[in-house]
Amino acid sequence: MVETSVFENAFVEDFDAVSRGFFYQSPWRSLWTQGCFSRLTTPVAGAEQPDGAFQCQLRQQFSEAKQQGIQNPIMVGAIPFDASQPSALFIPEASHFFDRQQLAGGFTDTPLPTVTSRTALPDHAAFTDMVAQAVNATSQGELDKVVLSRLMDITTERPVDTAMLMRRIINQNPTSYNFHVPLPDGGSLLGASPELLLRKQNGEFSSCPLAGSARRQQDRQQDNAVGQRLMHSSKDRYEHKLVTDAMRDVLQSRSSLLSVPETPQLVTTPTLWHLATWINGEARDPRDNALSLASLLHPTPALSGFPHARAQKLIAQLEPFDRHLFGGIVGWCNEAGDGEWVVTIRCGTVHNTRVRLFAGAGIVPDSSPESEWNETGVKLDTMLRAFGLQ
């Protein structure tokens, strides 16, 4: 395996080829890969256990890769929302780490194919009815929170060039976790996630869940006021606390040290304000790797709800589609156990002329069906902007 920290001058010029493989851009360590040594399509259910079946299979795959001359094997790819479903993970033949800053401003914006149709799934009436049912369920005490999502199906007049789309995503979202994952069916999963699920280096780990959102404004004074309203919103603070409390409970037994601040902070994307909390800790078990800790957390209440089992059951009842990789996680883990996984949101899949975009929102007793429709619409804007459709 070739692993480099020096960014080759030819990288931007050859970005079309680079971005059609696994591509992952992060403020910590950015990565692109070449080739595929082996695939791991086995569901990752149970991967939170260091001695579980999946982790044993992963170690075996790493060993076989090293026997074939790959010096520092790494696993990359995507894991679905439902960890019992097949994953889209693989060990590449070569990997290259780079500094994301060396991509800043490196691309000329180019247009994408003309969109010939857009279809919401479900439509406005069906989605707001879903939310109303979920509000009733949370109000009746059946669960505290559930995350409901919707899709947008787009058709283009000619196949979408995913390299061109990635250029636009990077230009428009320079601080996000930008990713491209080649899928076994020939399609691609790509997006600009704002949310870090788990980063691990040596024995230390970090997570930064987002829960609670508000649309940004062009006027700076109005925009700042929106952020302050979000920070003091009892509905959004309640939703956020459900997430951080649940993550604290899950991580406590696996940590020798754990810090979960009581008060969230404000973070921004080009379209939204978010409530965020940086969680930091040290793993108690040296056998834990980035994947085992990420699997322990996935999916967090920010993507499913709380309690998880009840939320997942209600999602299956209300959503008229299977999320598959949407609402899952994307990232990497190396043989030493280091790695990073982000939540698969602000994303879509592309297959020739067919594009499917995804967005979700957390539903609690104070949620308004119309507001949640609007919030998911703003979240769809990240990918719609890449197509020039916002």
d(CA 323, CA 306): 18
How many other CB atoms are found less than 10 A from the CB of residue 87?
23
Cα-to-chain-centroid distance, residue 202: 23
Which DSSP string do the residues of 346-387 spell out, in sequence order? SEEEEETTEEEEEEEEEE-TT--HHHHHHHHHHHHHHHHHHT
Q: How far apart are CA 274 and CA 317, in angstroms?
A: 28
The residues, any chain, with a CB within 8 Å of residue 312's CB and separated by 6 or more, are: 82, 304, 305
Q: How many residues does the chain have?
A: 390
Nearest CA to 210 among 230, 190, 225, 191? 230
Q: Which two tokens stand for residue 157?
A: 């007049």
Tell me which H or E stretch contains 147. strand 145-156
Q: Rounded to an integer, what distance in angstroms lies between the CA atom of residue 194 and that of residue 76? A: 19
| Whether 372 is catalytic | no
- Whether the CB-CB separation of 147 and 361 falls below 8 Å is answered with yes
Q: Is 195 a catalytic residue?
A: yes
Residue 58 to residues 292, 365, 375, Cα–Cα distance (Å): 11, 42, 39
- Say if residue 316 is exposed, middle or buried (CB neighbours under 10 Å; 0-12, 13-18, 19+): exposed
From the candidates 145, 335, 340, 372, give the one annotated as an active-site residue: 145
Active-site residue, from 195, 335, 340, 375: 195
Catalytic residue positions?
145, 195
